Structure 1
Amino acid sequence: MSGSKPQESGSVRIQYSLNKKEKEFVARRRKDVLQSLKKLQIHCSENEMPNIALLGSGGGERAMVGLLGSLDQLQKAGLLDCMLYLSGVSGSTWCMASLYQESDWSTKLETVKDKIVQRLSGPAVSWGDAYDKLKKYYKEKDIFSLTDVWAAMFVTVYVKEIDEHTLSDQWDQKSKDPFPIYTAIDKHSKQNNDGDPWFEFTPYEAGYSLIRAFVETSSFGSKFENGRKIENQPEIDMLYLQVGAVWVVELSHM
């Protein structure tokens, strides 16, 4: 299916190939990774170079702090610039969301790390601000659920902020950082064993990684039917994406 015709904007893309923009980014990033490997006396051609990815585990605030510490040590060892991808699930995505708020965070990790640590050791988001965010979710979204409650009232307790950035807006295509892939488990598919449980979202696309069905990240949260967008909704913000709970994406009847 890699030769199938790409879907136009506003439709579901079903294709066993990378998103075009991701391909372009990876091609540029591979050149930087190759130079970093050479500095470590690891010599290989660009065609032979492995695709190196770091995968962060789940585990709430522990996973968030653990990934941040691991990245710090990788930088000190000269290995951070060798990574093509950075991926995580659940708690480790909290760390990723904080990092990618900063453009080219990998070039100034010490400063970014101190900023994150200072925030985590500081005061929590007030219940009033969290409640205001919950009301905003209720007013703006057609589908309001316990996931919204968890994001506004509980995740804010751990990450100490209300992150209203969107993934597609904050990503710079010329970034010097590894390409981010956030992942989650579709609880319904996993429990019923009736589909692809792995869901991923990047700055460009969001969808199911095994069946290769994706929508543009800017449309993540909108409604689709028969592979076409039928109702536009605001893009889901990063606070909601950090919940790591049940993901509901209406891709039925594609």
Structure 2
Amino acid sequence: MNSQPDARPDARPDAVPAEPGSPAWWQARYAERERRRPRQGGLTLDRITAGALELADREGLEALTMRRLGEHLQVRHTSLYRHVASREELLIETVDHMLGEIRLPSLDGDWRAGLEAGAREFRRVLAAHPAVVPLLTAGQLLGPNALRAREHALAELLAHGWAPRPAVHVYLTVTHFVIGAAVLDSAGAARTAGQRAAMAELFASLSPRTHPVVHRHAELLNSLDPQAEFDFGLRTLLHGLDHPQSEEAPV
């Protein structure tokens, strides 16, 4: 008996597929999409991943199983396996579908303003789908929509005079900052007003002999919300970037 109910029913037990989300897996997925002809009026990967995102938003990630998704889409769950071989593959594809909601900004004029707009747009999409955010670190972001954003940002930076190596550093640094902030928020680092008040009370109760700074600034340490922290961090990061013309990475 198959011990993984969300794996493709007809999968060969001796097959060793590439790990979902890995470069080799994505390469195989791209090749498969080139070969496959869509069925007229049939189930599509886009419909599947859109439904998966809706289900995760509404019921949480744990509810997103192949059987439950089939019910949500009103199709036999076995028909999903023509497009994704397992729940793990479904999750990877759903993340990329989410990234397709990003509206790519133009970096015309001020490249810093363009990068800031792009980072805020990325954060907007992640904030709209908090249940899916933890999946950003489950596999490498190499799907069509992820590569669309990567291509756009790097092309714009190069067009503004950045040399290739520092342009890559800038793109990855800003992207990782946004993802890190979103992951922390979704994992519970974001605090409600009640939680901030409780932490301020804790800090204020500490002895001023052992924790004089924390004791003195107990209210301030818990007064900023996640958006304010993100705003400060993003602007500090962007304004700390130089505009090197060489291939040397920014320092």
TM-score (norm 2): 0.30
As a proportion of its length, which structure holds more helix?
2
Taking structure 1 as the reference length, the TM-score comes to 0.30
Per residue, is there more strand in 1 or in 2? 1
